[in-house]
A = this chain, B = another copy of it.
Amino acid sequence: MTAAILSERDIQFMLYELFDAEKLINRARYADHSIETFNAAINTAQQIATKYFLPIRQKIDSNQPTFDGEKVIMIPEIKQALDAAQAAGLGATTADFELGGMQLPPIVAAMVSAYLTATGSTTIGYMALTSANASLIEAYGSPEQIKTWVEPMHAGRFAGTMAMTEPSAGSGLGDLTTSAVKAEDGSYRITGNKIYISGGDHDLNENIVHLVLARIKDAPKGTKGISLFIVPKFLVNEDGSLGERNDVVLAGLFHKMGGRGQTSCALNFGENGGAVGYLVGEENRGLMCMFHMMNEARIMVGTGAATLALTGYQYSLYYAKERPQGRLPSSKDPLSAPVNIIEHADVRRMLLAQKAYSEGAMALCLFGAQLADDSHTADTEEARKYAQTLLDFITPIVKTWPSEYGPKANDLAIQVLGGAGYTNDHPVEMFYRDNRLNPIHEGTTGIQSLDLLARKVPMNNMAGYSLMLGEFQATIEQASKRTDLGALAEQMAESVAVLKSTTELLLTSMLDKNIDMVLSNSVKYLELFGNVVIGWLWLKQAIVAVDALAKSPHESDRNFYQGKLQATRYFFSFELPQIHVWSKILTDLDSSCYDMQADWF
């Protein structure tokens, strides 16, 4: 026996019991699908993951790509695994049938990706970025651009990247200096340096399509003067064949704590006269276009973080069930046999916490995926707008909560394994290292917290915020009708009340107090909101579990639902109450951090 990559039972629960993905087949876009085709796609991913990704996971981690001064050297198994995934259609799960995609609902596609992420989080990164890049060009590119760049990406011939960060412009993207000058043929010449470009160079694909943020000569300063360009590694001839090498060169690779399968590149554009670039959308509207990709990428980041948490949980669970060590406090008899460590209450705590974090985080990401889908494919305009409004609002939480709690879960997985977990004989320390990037890229936790509090909450007369509170309320009402969930419903209602009063005080203070001071604890607000959202998602799971328990004849199902209820109880006892600490800091307008002076450190 070996550890499960993911819990198959939980995937079924999430998709069909919690989120009722089956109803999606009533929508025109998914009319050719069924539960069977959904599950077939997931099974394919599981098989590819098991056959191609899992066996090389450790080897990839121990053999990070190197730069020989000209090109990237990486172990050949990465390309074999990617080719296998691509050949199975897993590179374009949500894309239209006519573009060569599987046209799956995002919520199902998330579980497809999860198998590849759990077994090769950085290998899948090449495909995921390509898919997000293609999706942006589909949304904002010209028909010719779609034909030239998107189709080869969906077919796996071309890869895609997003090239935003520069040595002096990371979180402060508005200060980027990469420049673009219009040429006579209507294309642009791009000059500048980009860093931390994931998949920025490699030989896995024929060509790489960089989406580059740059500033057109004389454009306004700041974020309002940024334009978006397609800058390919190789130019493409009219017949679609590869042309000349473009003026983009790899300057070096970053070596990272984790995510070692994916190249993180420094790229120099235009060292020999300017790289050829093609404007996407309008001039100076590049950041708006890039946000299309960034918002998608933020949900992908959250989902990836949740997935690594889930697989680390499964691994440590397997270990805890197999590893005998020690005895219970009540039985110190040295003649008795040691128990498996899952019998120790503290090991159960660490497993329950992982379950609560990882399954809670995944439920949040699937909720986000469903909203993204609904915003395009829901039946009514009203439902689509509802979904878009709520998605815009909740994106910083979908990005951040899993990114913060995913590594915490992996940290606990290491602890469950003890000394073994610290060695690379087991993958849990790698999960932690891979996952640690997630609170950083695609907007750090600090950036997300400002986005939430200063922008998303007040936005459109608090429209998104109000919808979120409405969702909480509906679930509280459902839960209160179930005897077993009365206390949890009550705690949830109190928690929402804390969130509301905290929010109101902060919004009022933003009007009449020093804005820098009021926003100084924004991360605590994001933590507070995040825990309430995850509490809500656990309460939703508890409702499904309680109802199902009453009618489940099979012991294995009853055990599964008991586990859901116990994880809910754990979350409500151990995690949710922390909001009171954070709320006090926020409502006190505690200025410990704001008052601290640089010279005092």
Contacts and interface: CB of A to CB of B under 8 A. Distances in A.
Given A170-B325, A520-B345, A562 B334 contact: no
A265 B204 CA distance: 38
Contact of A598 (B258, B321, B407): B321
A599 B433 contact: no
B172 A352 contact: no
A80 interface: no
Interface string A313-338: 00001000100111111100011001
Interface stretch (A122-130, A148-156, A385-393, A588-596): A588-596
B559 A599 contact: yes
A84 interface: no
Interface in A527-548: none
Contacts of A411: 407, 436
A338 B172 contact: yes
B345 A601 contact: no
- Interface size on A, as a range, is 35 or more
A437 to B, nearest CB: 5
B345 A600 contact: no
A346 B577 contact: no
Contact of A581 (B257, B348, B433, B580): B580
A168 interface: yes
B450 A436 contact: no
A520 B407 CA distance: 24
A515 B330 contact: yes
A414 B445 CA distance: 12
Contact of A334 (B174, B432, B516): B174
A345 B519 contact: yes
A176 B21 CA distance: 52
A133 B9 CA distance: 51
Contacts of A444: 415, 418
Nearest to A223: B334
Contacts of A422: 256-258, 436-437, 440
A182 interface: no
A201 interface: no
A547 to B, nearest CB: 17
Given A254-B423, A423-B255, A585 B592 contact: no
A420 to B, nearest CB: 8
A449 interface: yes
A330 B566 CA distance: 45
A241 interface: no
A419 interface: yes
Nearest to A254: B423
Interface of A: 165, 168-172, 174-175, 195-196, 220-224, 254-258, 264, 317, 321, 324-330, 334-335, 338, 340, 342-349, 351-352, 355, 407, 411, 414-415, 418-419, 421-425, 429, 432-433, 436-437, 439-441, 444-446, 449-450, 454, 514-517, 519-523, 559-560, 562-563, 566, 569-570, 573-574, 577-578, 580-581, 584-585, 588, 590, 592-601
**Which 4 residue pairs across A and B have the least CB separation, nearest first?**
A222-B334, A345-B520, A563-B600, A172-B326
